[in-house]
Structure 1
Amino acid sequence: MRIAVTRRDKMNVVELTGTYTYRSFLNRPEPVDDFNKLRFAQLELRLAAEPDGTVSGALVFSEEPGAEPIAMDMVGRASGSSPMAFTLTGRGRPNSAIADFHYEYDGIALRHWETGIGQRMTLAGTVLRAEDHGSGSSLAKAGQTAGFLAVKRDDA
């Protein structure tokens, strides 16, 4: 039996540009009876990528109509390798409720199947809480990791 192997071409990093539904999951190896027990976050990720590989954007926690969104500013780099790889740093906006947030992201764009139906660009990777944030009983210690998936939405 012969299996045909096709070469995947390099991706244009500008293809990262868009709005994604971002979901991160706790790294729990045991089965769970409720999928929400794996939930770390569900947010909106907005990215803009330049041809030179520069990436910027925001990870938006909530957005009340007419209010300034609570968000982390995202900056990083992407390569057009196959698979496309990227690194991002997220920091809470100054003078916001999450000003002390600092997270690091490392990921790839998952394969787009040539015969796939209804497939969307999906980013996958890991996230690290790079610094403590909060205080007292709400202290979130540095070092927490999670896996993430971000699914690209339709262009608005």
Structure 2
Amino acid sequence: MNVMELTGTYTYRSFLEVPEPVDDFNQLRFAQAELRLTAEPDGSVNGELILSDPGAEPLIVMDMTGRAKASSRASFTLSGRGRPPIADFHYEYDGVVLRHWETGIGQRMVLAGTVLRAEPHGGAPAGKTASFLAVRRDDA
């Protein structure tokens, strides 16, 4: 896979790592956002993670920077840093592009991985982890 294929707009969802079954899937929700990425031939990746209510102005934005490696399944690392008023936000991401099934129907490019709160903010301690999926949109 060519790393430039990561370029696009994704619906990003992260999940708390709760091992027990839950009655309400929202109990697993850590975040939902729009992820916009631009990958360059040299493997550099830049973009934004935009958290907002549907149809509303962005509530908070994090600038994303990182690197991607090409292989049969591309992998990537990203560092997200908040813009004011969330300039103290710092998260680290490690992920891969999930397999594209040759016989799959309607399959989309999906990024999957883990996220780490690298620095504390707003009373939330550093070290919190979550799992994420980012599903590529049609407008990508």
TM-score of Structure 1 vs Structure 2, range by shorter chain: over 0.9
Show CA shifts across 1:85-120 (max 9, x none): 000000001xx2211000000000000011110000
Q: How far apart are the structure 1 equivalents of 2:3 and 2:78?
A: 14
Establish whether residue 38 from structure 1 lines up as the match of residue 28 from structure 2.
Answer: yes
Which protein is richer in strand relative to its size? 2
Q: Pairwise mapping of residues 1-156 of structure 1 onto structure 2 (< 5 A)?
A: 11-62=1-52, 70-93=60-83, 96-134=84-122, 139-155=123-139
2:138 & 2:114 partners in 1: Cα distance?
24
Q: Give the partner amino acid of 1:13.
A: V
Paired residue type of 1:97? P
Q: Secondary structure at the match of 2:27?
A: helix
Distance 1:35 1:67 in 2: 26
Change (3 A) 1:40 1:67: closer
CA gap 1:80/1:103 in 2 versus in 1, 3 angstroms: same
Query: CA separation in 1, counterparts of 2:97 and 2:70?
Result: 10
> Within 1, Cα distance between the matches of 2:32 and 2:87?
19
Look up the SS of the partner of 2:68 in the other structure: strand
1:49-69: CA deviations, max 9, x gaps?
A: 001100000000127979566
Task: Name whichever of 63-72 and 112-121 sits farther off.
Answer: 63-72
Does the 8 A contact of 1:63 with 1:70 survive in 2?
Answer: no
TM-fit CA distance, 1:82: 2.3
Unpaired runs of 5+ in structure 2?
none
**Take 2:38 and 2:101, find their aligned partners in 1: how far apart are those partners?**
24
RMSD over aligned CA atoms reads 1.7
Contact 2:52 2:58 in 1 (8 A): no
Task: Indicate how the Cα distance of structure 1 residues 115 and 98 shifts in structure 2: closer, same or farther if over 3 A, else same.
Answer: same
- Structure 1 unmatched ranges of 5 or more: 1-10
Change in CA separation of 1:65 and 1:149 when aligned onto 2, cut-off 3 Å: closer
